[in-house]
Amino acid sequence: MIEYRTPAEIEQMRPAGQFVASVLTALRKHADVGVNLLELDELAHQMIKDRGATSCYIDYHPSFGASPFGKVLCTSVNDAVLHGLPHDYQLADGDLLSVDFAAEVDGWVADSALSVVIGTPRPQDLKLIETTEVALAAGIEAARAGNKLGDISYAIAQIATKAGYKINTDFGGHGVGRTMHGDPHVPNNGRRGRGLPLKPGLVIAIEPWFLETTDKIYTDQDGWTLRSQDGSRGSHSEHTIAITADGPIILTQRDA
């Protein structure tokens, strides 16, 4: 069921968005060569505890997950692009790290993701990250009352296609509110002018994710981490946004 939020409810969602943004900002600063993925997860866990927030991931167990997730972050490295289960791995020079984080504050949820290069970047990784960020911005710009859901998907796909990337539509954006995942599903490819009419009060996570040379993925033996079928690297960018009569509001906007 698609739910629409009042202006007052959207204001009530801001603290969740600000908290999620602050955690990702802290993680981006902390991630470096030699840092363990479990250390990043522990940092986020401590920030959740200090804020009195609730993790959306730790008990999460959808049909596609092998077991309850058990961690508070998704940390996807190199050929992993989504749902990366934190494990005992020290980040190496040149790694491409994607971090996805969602939390509940005062009964409201926000969800966001970013990708960074650890240490010395490869030009192709920088291009991949920039493309997901530009696609995210294009999707947000299309998230305006009077447009259709397909306009968001189309805007994202145009950026990916121009950059030479294929698009997997198995996973994408989604409604956000009292829970992390709700209707509508927001695919990263679609037809302009088609689909759900966008109205003020709709709150969604828009999340383009692209792989360098394939759109095929498989699930790692950990039962969660999604990896590219050909070993190429992936990048993931995401914001929770609210559609209003005056345009989209980015609830998870980061300062840096």
Which residue ranges make up the annotated binding site for substrate? 83, 181
Q: Do 99 and 17 contact (CB within 8 A), yes or no?
A: no
How far is the C-alpha of 10 from the C-alpha of 44, rounded, in Å?
A: 24
Binding site residue list for a divalent metal cation: 100, 111, 174, 207, 238
Binding site residue list: 83, 100, 111, 174, 181, 207, 238
Nearest to 172 by CA among 183, 156, 187: 187
How far is the C-alpha of 84 from the C-alpha of 69, rounded, in Å?
A: 10
- Burial state string for 196-218 with b = 16 or more CB within 10 A and e = fewer than 16: bebebbbbbbbbbbbbbebbebe
Which residues contact residue 214 at a Cβ distance below 8 angstroms, ignoring those fewer than 6 apart? 166, 228, 229, 230, 232
